[in-house]
Amino acid sequence: MAQGHQEWPYSKTLFANALALATAVVPLVGIVTGLGLAARVPLVEAGDGNELGTALAFYIWSAYAFLVIVGCCLAMLQIFASAYVKRLANGLFAPFGMIASLLTPIIIAGAVLIWPISFPSAIGTIPLIFLFTGVLTLVLASFSHIYRRTGCPLTVIVVALGVSLAILGWNDTS
């Protein structure tokens, strides 16, 4: 929260908490929506009796359940454990936390490169997507924190590098 948030009226504090909660849950909503759209592909119908359709229906409903559970847990954390969350955030943005959050995607990418078939199949598709979303959240939060402390816009640099590599055709995998 912003500096001086203790003096905010209750409605503004409630709106800020709801906005923080919505920001945390929106990526999961995107994943669940993607699963719902996958069920509409004419080749596979969710729950139509075939094995693939039944598995897709299970994944969709389990993703909905996961989204509800995560939303409720985040709301409960925001309401009952905000001091603990503040300590956790301070630890995450400490120098060691920054190094750990920036090394996590490198370690996961290295594991995928070393074991390209066994690692993703051992984790599973949905947990791998959730892992990617969580790591992306940590990295972008770290980039934002680095920008606030140093003024170096890492997110813009990484996006510009990706666009430049795409224009030059250096990231084409075909």
Looking at the fold, whether 59 and 113 belong to one and the same domain comes out as no
> How many angstroms from the chain centroid is the CA of residue 96?
21
Is position 48 within any domain?
yes
Is position 88 within any domain?
no
Is position 174 within any domain?
yes
Looking at the fold, whether 61 and 107 belong to one and the same domain comes out as no
Q: What domain range is 121 assigned to?
A: 103-174
Residues of the chain with pLDDT under 70: 1-6, 38-49, 172-174
Looking at the fold, whether 49 and 116 belong to one and the same domain comes out as no
Q: Of 80, 112, 133, which closes a domain?
A: 80
Residues 84-121 pLDDT 10s: 777 777 777 788 877 887 788 888 888 888 998 888 88
Is position 173 within any domain?
yes
Q: Of 80, 111, 142, which closes a domain?
A: 80
95-114 helix and 125-150 helix, angle to the nearest 10 degrees: 140
CA dist., res. 110 & res. 135, Å (int): 14
Looking at the fold, whether 74 and 120 belong to one and the same domain comes out as no
Is position 152 within any domain?
yes
88: which residues sit within 8 A by CB, 6+ positions away?
none
pTM for this predicted structure = 0.48
Looking at the fold, whether 31 and 67 belong to one and the same domain comes out as yes
Tell me how many domains the chain contains.
Answer: 2
> Which pLDDT does position 28 carry in this prediction?
72
In our burial notation (b when 16+ CB lie closer than 10 A, e otherwise), range 101-116 reads bbebeeebeeeeeeee
Looking at the fold, whether 30 and 64 belong to one and the same domain comes out as yes
> Which pLDDT does position 170 carry in this prediction?
83
Is position 94 within any domain?
no
